[in-house]
Amino acid sequence: MADQGRWILADASTAGVVRFGWAMPGAARIESVRTLSSERHPTFTDALLTYEREEGIPLRGSEFVMAVAAPPAGDAIPIARSRWTISRSGLAAMFGGAVVLLNDVAATAWSLIGSGTGRLESFGGPMPDFTQPGRWAIILLDDGVNAAALDIADNGRCTVIDGEAGHAGFSPSDEREQALMAQLQRQHAHVSWEAALCAGWQEPHATADQRAAWAAMAGSFVGDAALLLGGWSGVILTGRHIAALRDPAHQQMFVRRMAAKSRYSRFLSATGRYFLPSRDPLDGGLAVMRARRAERLSLAA
């Protein structure tokens, strides 16, 4: 039987699957990552017990951290794009102690603490230094849209501020976007930024004009997110739709619209801009556990 006391990590942010891994306390490496289908497991508990059985790692006595595509608030948390609902108190009873539940974009923010800047690509500004004080806005542009802020204080303590920014109200800026708003209003009672940014203009099959318009619209959303989160140190974009911003002309449209959001345009223009081409919420879970162990963490568990 494997030793107790390991860190068990889970990621339920991808539709149709849940991923598990484990690490020894303090380790920088995740072991035995497995992907289990939600179709073959009626509940999340079933999937968790399958992982326990297949890995031979007792749940009780282990510490648990999980990334979810949902607000990690309250006891019962429905998992987006899934029929599962998880229970915080139920998980705590299984593990024998409090568990850590994170929004998946917050987990991406935490992962930057563990990996540094090696995975980032700059398209405006010097590389950030996550050992120094600052606040960065991490923006997900994928089939889901969201934002979180990574804040590092003078004493090195780290805090991640998250929410559901993608579900805030879409604000059109020109006639084309007003027409999109009218179209989406026929489908949704509330037209969110996520609905607008996932309407298809960013896809490879979209026209060149649509992809350019999407880049500008994404700049508006990121400008709003940076203002709301106070991400003055930089914005870090991740998710599959950042491919639409690889074109230098699209980047110019993005930056112009981002900076035009308010009278604080000079602050927004001065923020660093970076791509995070790949992300893994499991890495964020591991970073949270390591930061907590090093007493570098401010987190409401």
Average pLDDT over residues 256-276: 89
φ/ψ (deg, to 5) at 154: -60, -30
165 shares its domain with 199 = yes
Q: Give how far the C-alpha of residue 287 lies from the chain's centroid of Cα atoms, to the nearest Å.
A: 14
Residue 291 is assigned to a structural domain of this protein: no
The CATH number given to whatever domain includes residue 146 is 3.40.367.20
Which pLDDT tens digit goes with each residue over 286-297?
999 988 877 555
Residue 295 is assigned to a structural domain of this protein: no
How many Å is the Cα radius of gyration of the chain? 20
158 shares its domain with 257 = yes
Q: How confident is the model at residue 155 (pLDDT cuts 50, 70, 90)?
A: confident
* Mean pLDDT score across all residues of the chain: 91
Residue 2 is assigned to a structural domain of this protein: no
Residue 39 is assigned to a structural domain of this protein: yes
Give the domain range for residue 137: 120-276
206 shares its domain with 89 = no
155 shares its domain with 270 = yes
129 shares its domain with 47 = no
Residue 230 is assigned to a structural domain of this protein: yes
Which pLDDT tens digit goes with each residue over 66-85?
999 989 999 999 987 788 99
Cα separation of 130 and 151, whole Å?
9
34 shares its domain with 98 = yes
99 shares its domain with 133 = no
235 shares its domain with 134 = yes
Cα separation of 205 and 207, whole Å?
7
33 shares its domain with 69 = yes
Residue 300 is assigned to a structural domain of this protein: no
Average pLDDT over residues 151-169: 92
Cα separation of 137 and 153, whole Å?
15
Residue 213 is assigned to a structural domain of this protein: yes
Residue 151 is assigned to a structural domain of this protein: yes
258 shares its domain with 177 = yes
Is 3's pLDDT higher than 70?
no
pLDDT of residue 117: 73
pLDDT of residue 298: 52
- How does strand 145-152 pair with strand 272-276? unpaired
Which pLDDT tens digit goes with each residue over 170-212?
999 999 999 999 999 999 999 999 999 999 999 989 999 999 9
129 shares its domain with 267 = yes
Q: What percent of the chain has pLDDT over 70?
A: 95
How many domains would you assign to the chain?
A: 2
Average pLDDT over residues 41-60: 94
* pTM summary value: 0.92
**Long-range pairs for 290-294: beta carbons < 8 A, 24 or more residues apart:** 290/26, 290/28, 290/114, 291/110, 291/113, 291/158, 293/25, 293/26
Cα dihedral 60, 43, 29, 156 in deg (nearest 10): -80
The CATH number given to whatever domain includes residue 66 is 3.30.420.40
88 shares its domain with 136 = no
